[in-house]
Chain A
Amino acid sequence: MVKHTRWLTVLAALMVLALFAGLIGCSPGESDRHVLRVGFLREIEGLNPMTIWSYQAYEVMNLNYNRLITWDENMNVVSDLAKEWEVSEDGLTWTFILHEGVKWHDGEPFTAEDVKFTFEYIRDNELGYFVDYVAAMTDIQAPDETTVVITLEEPLAWMPNILVPILPKHIWENVDPEEANSDYENSEPIGTGPFQVVEHVTGEYTRMAANKDYFKGAPKIDEVIFQTFANADLMVQALKRGDIDAITSCPAAQFKALQEEAPEGIKLLDAMTPAFTELAINVWDDPASNGNPLLRDPKVRAAMEHAIDRERVLEVAFFGYGETGSTLVPSVYDFWHLKLDADEFRSFDIEKSKGILEEAGYKVGSDGIRASADGEPLSFTVSVRSESPDSRKAAELMKEWFKEAGIDLKIEVIDEGTLTDRIYEGDFDLFIWGWFVDVDPSSILKIMTTGEIMSWSDSFYSNPEYDELYEKQQFTLDLDERQEIIHEMQRIVYEDAPYIILSYDPELQAYRTDRFKGWVQNPAGGPVMFTNTIETYEKLEPIN
C-alpha cells in the first residue's frame, strides 16, 4: 500500500505539471490562412449525397458538388454547370450546353457523360431524394463533351430545376448502387464545387478546402469549417470571442439576447425563409381515421382560425421573429405566393368565431364547451413536439382563445418520432409542425393531393378539383398561366383549411462583418448561408 501511494503521488504531480504545460502551451497561429468557421447545433451525419438528410449535411454537399443550374436573388434560374439551355416547342426535349474546361477535384475533366451517368444512376437505382427529379427522363444523351439532351415523358413545368448534384462517373460507376443507398461513406468526396471536404470528424467538425481550379474562379478564402456545438449559449459566446465567424439557425432566445447586446462587428440577420409553421388538422374522412370527426366540418376549422391571434403567437411563442402566415407558398417566393385580400383572410375575431359555431348549430353546454346537435363536444387534442418548446407555447395560447370561443383544447407533448408514426396512422386531431418549401412550389402543393394520403400528406386532405389543378399546373409551361393556377390552388386549400398556417418562419443568422465581407443574401431578404445557393462562399473575402 505504501508503494502504491507514493506512485500515485508521482502520477498526480506529473499530471498537474502536464496541465500547466498545457496552460502555457502556445496558441495556434494561422495568420496566413483565411478560414471561415461556421457553428451550428447539429451533427453532420455523413458525406454521401444519396443517404444524407439534414440541412447541414446538404450544405456541405452543395459546396462540394455543383448542379446544372442555380438561382439569382430573384429566384430566376441561372447558369451553374450548364452554361445555357433550351427546350423544344413541345416541351419534351431539353438541351443543356455545359461549361468547358471544368475539372473534378481530382483533376479529371468534367464532361456531358458525367451528367448522363448521374441522372441514369439515380433514376435506375431510385436513389435518395433526387429520384423525383430524374424519374420522368425517358432518354438522356451526351452527343458531345459539352451537350446533354434530355427527353421527358411529358412536359414538366418545374424544369430545368433539376436539384441533383452532378457526380463524377469515374468514381461512382464503381460504387454498387445498393451500397450507395446504404453504407457508402464517400469519405473523400470528389466534385466540381468551390470547396472540397478534406476532413470529416463525426460529431465534431467538417473541414473543406478551397478548390483553386473552381470554374467560376478560385474562392478568396482558403477553408470553410463547419463546427458542431452541443450548447447554444456557448456557441454564441464562441462567436463573440471570435472562435467562430458565423452561426446559423440560432435559437430565438439567444438571438434576442444578442440583439439586445448588439456586439460590434457582428451582423444579426433575421432572414425570411421559404418555411412555415402550421396547425395541421386531421380531415380524413375514412373509417380508419382516429381523428375527431367534428374536425371534418369546415365551419369548425374556420371558427378555430378566427380564434387564433397570429401576431400574438409570433410575439410570445416565436420571440417576434418571422411573419404571420396564410397560404401554402410562403411570401418569400413572391411570384408564386397568393396574397389574400383582407376580406378573404380569417383574422383574429373571437366574436366571429362564436357566430360561425352558433350558426352551424354548436350550442354552448353547461361547462362552457360547445357541442354538436348530437351532443358531441368540440373537444380536441393538439399534439406538440417535445423538440419544439415554441410550438408548445403557441398551443398554450390557442387553448385560452379556443376556450373563449367554446372549444376545448388539450395539449399533448410527444417526440417527433412518435408523432410521425401517429400521423401516418391518422391517429391525431391537431398538431403543430412545419414545412420547408422548395424553389418550385410543386412539392408543397403536392402534399395536399389525394394521391399523397399515406405518403407525404399529413392532414389527409382530398379534393378532386384541387387534384385536377395540380396535374394541370405541372404541365403548364406558360409562367403567368401557371401562376394563376397555383394561386387558385392556394385559395382552395385556404378556404377548406386543412392547415391553419401560423407563420412564415425566419432563419436567424449571426456573422462577423469585421472579418469577412461579401455576404450574399439569396433570395433577396433571405439568409446568407444554408439557403438555395452557395454564393456567399463563392464571393466571401477576408478583411485584413
Chain B
Amino acid sequence: MKMRGYVLRKLGQTVLTIFVVLVFNFFLFRIMPGNPVRILIRNPKISAEALQRITEQFGLNQSKFVQFGYYLRDLFTGDLGHSFVYRKPVLDVIMEKLPPTLLLTGTATILSIIIGVILGVIFAWKRGSKLDVAGLSLSLVLYSMPSFWVGILMVMLFAVYWPIFPIGGMSVPGTYYATIWSQLGSLLRHMLLPTVTFALILIGEYVLIMRNSLLEVMSEDYMLTARAKGVSNRNLLRRHALPNAMLPMVTLIAMNLGFIVGGAIQVETVFSWPGLGRLMYTALMGRDYPLLQGIFLFVTVCVVGANFCADLLYRYLDPRVKS
C-alpha cells in the first residue's frame, strides 16, 4: 500500500517534470529569431498562395497558444510533428539515428561503469598507496579532458600515424561483406576509437565517485563492528561496503543516461558518427524546430524516466528511503 502511494507520487512528479520541460521547449524554440517558413521553403520565388498554403499546413498562421494546443493533441496521438529539413515525421528521423547513438554511448557507458567501479574499489581499498595516488591523478586528468580533444588525439594516433583504425563513420559505404562476421568486425573497428574516447571521459568520473563513496562507507561504525566480528576482508568489501557505496553510483548512472540518448555531440562530430548528437546539431543549424523539439522531448523523457527508475530502485536498494 505504501509502496503504491510512493510509486504513484513519483510517477506524478515525473509526468509533471516532463510537461514543464515540454512547455518550456515549445516556447523556447518559438522565441528564437528567424522565420521558419522561410527556412521551410528556401525559395523566394514561391507564389504568395503557395506560401500561405504552407504556413497553414504547418499551422504557423495560428497564435502560439493555439499551436501549442495542436502540438499537445498531436503528441498524445504519438505524432511528434514533421521535420522541416528531412521532410519526414520527426519520430522516424529520431528512430533512424537512435541505434548508432545507443550502440556507441551505451557500450561506452557500460564499459566505463565496469572499469570505473572496479578501479574505484581498488583505489579506495589501497587508499594512500602509490597506486591510489597515481590512479586518482589519472582519473582527475581524464575527467577534465575535453572529449573532442581526446577524440582528435585518438584519431591522430590510431588512424593517421598508425593507421590501424578507420578515420570515422560507422561503415565503409558500399562494401559487400562475405559473412556477417566480417560485417560485425568492420562495425567494431569503426566503433572502437569513438567508444574508447567516450569511455575514457566517463571513467574518470566513475572512479572518483566510487572511490569517495567507498571511503566514506569504510569509515562508518558498522564497518568497524563487522571487522571486529571477524568478517574477512573480502566479505567486508562485498557484503558490507559495496552495497552501500553503490548508492551514489546509481544516481550518477541515472543522470548520465541522458547522455546516452542525447549522444555525445563532440565525439560524434569528431568521428563523423551518424547519431542523435549530430542530428541535434543539424537540426539546430537548419532551424528544424519540430525535430529539435522532438529530440529534446525524447532526451527529457529518457532522463526523467531514468531518474524515476533510480528512485524506485533506491527504495529497493536502500530500505532507509521510505517517505
Q: Taking beta carbons and an 8 Å cutoff, which residues of A are in contact with B? A: 1-2, 5, 8-9, 11-12, 15, 18-19, 21-28, 30, 35, 37, 43, 45-46, 48, 51, 53, 126, 128-129, 131-132, 181-183, 185, 199, 201-205, 207, 223, 225, 227-231, 233-234, 237-238, 241, 243, 415, 417-418, 420-421, 424, 455-456
The reply to whether A25 and B268 contact each other, CB–CB distance below 8 Å, is no
The A-contacting residues of B in range 112-130, CB under 8 angstroms, are 114-115
B182 close to chain A: CB less than 8 A:
yes
Does A199 lie within 8 Å of B174, measured CB to CB? yes
A25, A35, A237, A417: the one within 8 Å of B160 (CB): A237
CA distance A9 to B187 in the complex (A): 23
Question: Judging by beta carbons under 8 Å apart, are A126 and B47 in contact?
Answer: yes
B281 nearest in chain A by CB position: A230
Q: How far is the CB of A432 from chain B (nearest CB, A)?
A: 19
Could you tell me which residues of chain B, from 84 to 102, have a CB within 8 Å of some CB in chain A? 85-88, 93, 96-97
- Once A230-B270, A231-B269, A455-B44 are accepted as A-B contacts, the answer to whether A420 and B185 lie under 8 Å apart by CB is no
Bound-state CA distance A226–B170 (Å) is 15
B25 to chain A: closest CB distance in Å? 18
A185 touching B33 in the complex, CB below 8 Å, given contacts A35-B174, A231-B270: no
Tell me the bound Cα distance from A415 to B155 in angstroms. 31
- What are some 7 contacts across the A-B interface (CB < 8 A)? A12-B111, A15-B110, A26-B182, A126-B46, A203-B282, A227-B173, A231-B168
Kindly state whether residue B38 has any CB partner on chain A within 8 Å: yes
CA distance A128 to B44 in the complex (A): 10
> In whole angstroms, how far apart are the Cα atoms of A33 and B192 in the complex?
28
Binds A, one of B6-14, B271-279, B292-300, B303-311: B271-279
B268 contact from A11, A43, A230, Cβ within 8 A:
A230
Cβ–Cβ < 8 Å partners of B160 in chain A: 237, 241
| Interface size counted on chain B using CB atoms at 8 A | 69
A46→B174 contact, CB < 8 A: no
Q: For window 153-174 of chain B, which residues contact chain A by CB distance below 8 Å? A: 155, 159-160, 163-164, 166-170, 172-174
Please determine whether B272 and A231 come into contact, CB atoms closer than 8 angstroms.
yes
Residues of chain B within 8 A (CB-CB) of A22 are 184-189, 191-192
Determine whether the beta carbon of A417 is less than 8 Å from that of B33. Answer: yes
Q: Chain A: which residue is nearest B185 at the CB level?
A: A25
Most-contacted residue by chain B among A225, A230, A233, A243 (CB, 10 A): A230
Q: Of the candidates B34, B82, B163, B185, which one forms a contact with A417 in the assembled complex, judged by CB atoms under 8 Å apart?
A: B34
Judged by a CB distance under 8 angstroms, whether B133 is at the interface is no
Any A CB within 8 A of the CB of B142: no
Q: Which A residues touch B246, using CB under 8 A?
A: 1
**What residue in chain B is nearest A227 (Cβ atoms)?**
B173
For residue B251, CB closer than 8 A to chain A, the reply is no
| B270 and A234 within 8 A (CB) | yes
Q: How far is the CB of A528 from chain B (nearest CB, A)?
A: 21
C-alpha gap A19/B47 in the complex (Å): 56
Q: How far is the CB of B206 from chain A (nearest CB, A)?
A: 13
Q: How far is the CB of B177 from chain A (nearest CB, A)?
A: 7
> Which 6 interchain pairs have the tightest Cβ spacing?
A25-B185, A22-B188, A417-B34, A205-B173, A28-B175, A230-B272
How far, in whole Å, are A28 and B114 apart by their CA atoms in the complex? 32
B152 within 8 A of A: yes
Residues of B within 8 A of A126 (CB): 46-47, 50
A424-B51 Cα distance, complex, nearest whole Å: 15
CA distance A415 to B284 in the complex (A): 11
Interface flag for B60 (CB, 8 Å): no
Separation in Å of the A86 CB from the closest CB of chain B? Answer: 29
A205 smallest CB distance to B (angstroms)? 4
A339 to B84, CA, bound (A): 42
Residue of A with least CB distance to B279 = A203
The prevalent SS among residues of A at the interface is mixed
User: How distant is the Cα of A225 from the Cα of B38 in the complex, in angstroms?
Assistant: 31
Q: Which A residue sits closest to B87, measured CB to CB?
A: A183
Instruction: Kindly provide the distance from the CB of A66 to the nearest chain B CB, expressed in whole angstroms.
Output: 23
> Which of A28, A46, A420, A456 touches B172 (beta carbons < 8 Å)?
A28
The answer to whether A30 touches B278 (Cβ under 8 A) is no
B59 at the interface (CB under 8 A from A): no
The distance from the CB of A2 to the nearest CB of chain B, in whole angstroms, is 6
- B243 at the binding interface (Cβ < 8 Å): yes
A11 to B272, CA, bound (A): 28
Most-contacted residue by chain B among A22, A30, A241 (CB, 10 A): A22
Nearest CB of B to A424, in Å: 8
- Assembly CA distance A182 to B97 (angstroms): 22
Known: A1-B238, A43-B282, A53-B42. A204 touches B185 (CB 8 A): no
Question: Which residues in window 231-277 of B have CB below 8 A to A?
Answer: 238-239, 242-243, 246, 268-274
Assess whether B45 is in contact with A129, with CB atoms less than 8 Å apart: yes
Is the Cβ of B188 less than 8 Å from the Cβ of A21?
A: yes
Q: How many Å from the CB of B100 to the closest CB on chain A?
A: 9
Contact of B33 among A204, A231, A421 (CB under 8 A): A421
B212 contact set on A, CB distance < 8 A: none
A19-B192 contact given A1-B242, A28-B186, A456-B44, CB 8 Å threshold: yes
How far apart are the CA atoms of A67 and B46 in the complex, in Å?
A: 22
User: Which chain B residues lie closer than 8 Å to A24 at the CB level?
Assistant: 185
Q: Which chain B residues border A223 with CB–CB below 8 Å? A: 174
Q: Given A22-B188, A25-B186, decide whether A227 and B169 contact each other with a Cβ distance below 8 A.
A: yes
Asked if A15 and B182 make an inter-chain contact with CB atoms under 8 angstroms apart, the answer reads no
CA A203 – CA B168 in complex, angstroms?
Answer: 13
A9 to B111, CA, bound (A): 10
Interface: B287 (CB within 8 A)? yes
Cβ of A175 to closest chain B Cβ, rounded Å? 14
The answer to whether B39 touches A417, judged by C-beta atoms less than 8 angstroms apart, is yes
Identify 12 new A-B residue pairs, CB closer than 8 A, beyond the known A12-B115, A237-B160, A418-B33: A18-B188, A22-B189, A181-B50, A183-B82, A199-B173, A201-B274, A205-B169, A207-B173, A207-B174, A229-B168, A233-B152, A420-B34
